[in-house]
Amino acid sequence: MTPTISSKLPGLQPSIFSEMNRIALDAGALNLAQGFPDFDVDPELLRLYGEALKGGYNQYAPMPGVLSLREAIAEKTASLYGAAYHPETEITVTAGATQAIFSAIAAVVRPGDEVIIFKPAYDSYEPNVRIHGGVPVLLPLQGPDFRIDWEAFDRALGPKTRLVMLNTPHNPSGMVLEADDLLKLEQRLRPTDTLVLSDEVYEHLIFDGRSHQSICKFPGLRERAFICSSFGKTFHVTGWKMGYCLAPAALMREMRKMHEFVVFSVNHAAQKALVQYLKHPDRYLSLPGFFQRKRDLFLSGLKGSRFAFTPASGTYFQVVDYSGLSEEADVAFAERLAREHKVAGIPISVFNLGGADHKQLRFCFAKKDDTIARAAEILGSL
C-alpha cells in the first residue's frame, strides 16, 4: 500500500524563478530574472577563504557562529546604527538570511498566531508562516511607490497578531522604508506583545543619498525584533549561504533552539574569511555608489521608451511598468519577452496579494555592465 501524505503546503506552485531561469536558458536570453550577480567576487575574499581552508577550518564551527565574526558584526552594527548587540548572546551566524528567517518564525509562531505580511513579498515568508501553523494576514502595499497603508495596518493589528514582517530595502519593489514609517510602527506596537521580523539583506544597497533605517535604530522596535541580514547579498557570494540574525537575548535564545536543529552551524572557513574581510568597512560602504551606477546605466537605456518606472531606492532590482507596450498578463509578457526579445525578468504578480497583475516586471541589475547595457538597449527599442 502506497502511503498517503498530507501536504503542509497544499497548492504551492513551482517557483517562478526556476521557470523564468529555464525559459531564459532555453531561449539564450540575457537573464535579468536571476537575483544574484554575474560578475566576479573580490579576489581578496577568495584568497582569505582559501587561506582558511588551508588553515584547517574544515570542521564544525561553533553553533552560534565563530565568536570573532560575531564580534565583527557587533562592531559593524554599533558603528552604522548606534545599536549595541552582545556577540555571545544576541548574534547568530546563519546559513543565509532565509534560514535566519525560517528559524525566527519557527521560534515564535504557533498554530493560530497571526503574522502581518506586506505584499508584494519575498516568496519564503508566507510558506514559512503556514508551515508552523500561523495565519498570514496579507496587506497590499499602496500605489506605484509601494507604501504602507497605516489605516489598513491598524485594522489588521489585533490580539492574535504575533509577528509583523518587514523588508527594507524591499524586494521586489526597490522601495525603502523611511524613519517616519518605523516611528509609526513603533508607536502602534508599544502597548502590544507583537514581535517584529525585519529582513534587511539589502541594507548596503541604498541610493540617492538615502540612509538605511534599520529596525535596531528604534528602541521600541529593537526590543521586540529579529533582524536578518546577508553576507551573500553584500559581498556577491550568494552561493556561500552566509547570513546572520540579531535579536535581544531572550528572543535569540529561542531562535538558537531552532537554528541548532535546522543546520547546527554554518561554513567554518567562510566565517574565518569574513572576519578578516570585515576589517575594511569600505568594502560594504562603497556598495551604494557601485550599484546606483548600475541602476542608472540600466535606466538610461529605458529613457524615452514605452516602459514607465520610478528609480529603485534600494536593492539591485528595478520594477518597470509595461502597460504602454502590451495588455498581456505579466507572466505571459515575461515569457514572450524572454523567448522573442531575449531579455528575462520576473512578473510582479507572483509576489502580489491574490496575484494582482499591474503590468509590472522586475529586472535585476546586479550584472556586468555589458549585460545591463545590452538588455536596456533591447528593452528601450520595443
The answer as to whether 126 is a domain residue is yes
Q: What is the pLDDT of residue 341?
A: 96
- Dist. CA 86–CA 363, nearest whole Å: 38
Q: Burial of 229 by CB count in 10 Å (0-12 exposed, 13-18 middle, 19+ buried)? A: buried
What is the tens place of the pLDDT at every residue in 319-332? 999 999 999 999 99
Q: What is the pLDDT of residue 381?
A: 95
The answer as to whether 1 is a domain residue is no
Quote the Cα angle for 120-147-317, to 5°. Answer: 55
Q: How far is CA 294 from CA 161, 363, 376, in A?
A: 40, 12, 11
Domain count for the chain:
2
CB of 289 closer than 8 Å to CB of 209: no
Q: What is the pLDDT of residue 219?
A: 97
Judge if 314 and 219 occupy the same domain: no
What is the tens place of the pLDDT at every residue in 156-172? 999 999 999 999 999 99
Query: Which amino acid type is present at position 162?
Result: R
* pTM, 2 dp: 0.95
Which of 279, 310, 335 is the endpoint of a domain? 279
Which of 233, 249, 279 is the endpoint of a domain? 279
Q: What is the pLDDT of residue 145?
A: 87
Q: What is the pLDDT of residue 125?
A: 96
Q: What is the pLDDT of residue 354?
A: 87
Residue keyed to cell 546605466 = 297
Q: What residue ranges of the chain have pLDDT lower than 70?
A: none
Judge if 216 and 101 occupy the same domain: yes
Judge if 230 and 175 occupy the same domain: yes
Is the Cα torsion angle 38, 200, 263, 162 positive or negative in sign? negative
Which of 279, 312, 333 is the endpoint of a domain? 279
